[in-house]
Amino acid sequence: MDVQKYLNRIGSLVPAEPDLDALRSLHTRHLLSVPFEDLTVHSGGRVELDLPLIYDKIVTRRRGGLCYENNGLFSWLLSSLGFQVTMLSAQVKGLITGFYGPPFDHLVLLVTLQGRRWLCDVGYGAAGFSVPISLETSGPQVEGHRVYRIRKQGDVHFLEWQGVENTGADGVWKEILKFTLDPRRLEDFTDMCQYHQSSPCSLIFSKSLCVIMKPGRWLTCMGRRLISTTFTTEGAGFKTTTRELQDEEITVILAEEFGIVLNSPLTPKDETITPPPVMY
């Protein structure tokens, strides 16, 4: 695995030092370059949590990946550049089901810089944040079109957001994920990675999905729909447009808008997610 090739993949240079400016730049560049996508699952393949395989997929073949792939490889890049990185297990509160996923549902990163802790996540798709979130404050953190905060309850940290796109009215905080600061390893997520590829309770299994951040908007290909979420004015709202796609258009859209060329035929999928039998 080659750090310079990875940096080339995300359009970044080797930072002069592992500081906050570099971390923010790398985080944003990754989101602008590498999609969150589960297309391997819907084109006859399986995702395996092996770093060389993930590197080949994302860097060499210029694909995207699941949270385990994107954040797992991003952790390796940051560590190689001198950052202090810890993998954490998180649980996502489903926007569709309203329930949290099981433990190890999601992988996020904790980066410690000069004694201050930052939450990083380049594998969450359109619900994600573009620059790292500080864990040193419980106050609001404004990121252009969205406002986030970290709320702590015992050993559990909750990431919440506020705004009209989620609540219909400003001022209401919505939980989007929860996590502890217990250190994890990539192999700890193996069972849940397989679960997401086989369970009707999972977004990954139920919907073919590809998401990338563009300047001022997020672009999503879900099933046979192309969804563009454009943020109109800072902090004021958003506009969503949806275009129905024919099967033959999907391959073109994936190549032109997401930079993805699949080696096997894709079966578009957009099924209802089954609520989990155990509520977390």
Give a three-class secondary structure readout of 203-269.
HHHHECEEEEEECCEEEEEECCEEEEEEECCCCCCEEEEEEECCHHHHHHHHHHHHCCCCCCCCCCC
Q: What is the pLDDT of residue 222?
A: 97
pLDDT digits (tens, 9 = 90+) for 5-27: 999 999 999 999 999 999 999 99
Is the confidence at residue 167, as pLDDT, over 50? no
pLDDT digits (tens, 9 = 90+) for 124-138: 988 789 999 999 999
* Number of neighbouring beta carbons within 10 Å of residue 249: 14
**Better-scored residue on pLDDT, 196 or 144:** 196
pLDDT digits (tens, 9 = 90+) for 54-75: 999 999 999 999 999 999 999 9
Q: What is the pLDDT of residue 118?
A: 98
At residue 255 the predicted structure's pLDDT band, cuts being 50, 70 and 90, is very high
pLDDT digits (tens, 9 = 90+) for 203-221: 999 999 999 999 988 999 9
Terminal Cα distance for the chain, rounded: 37
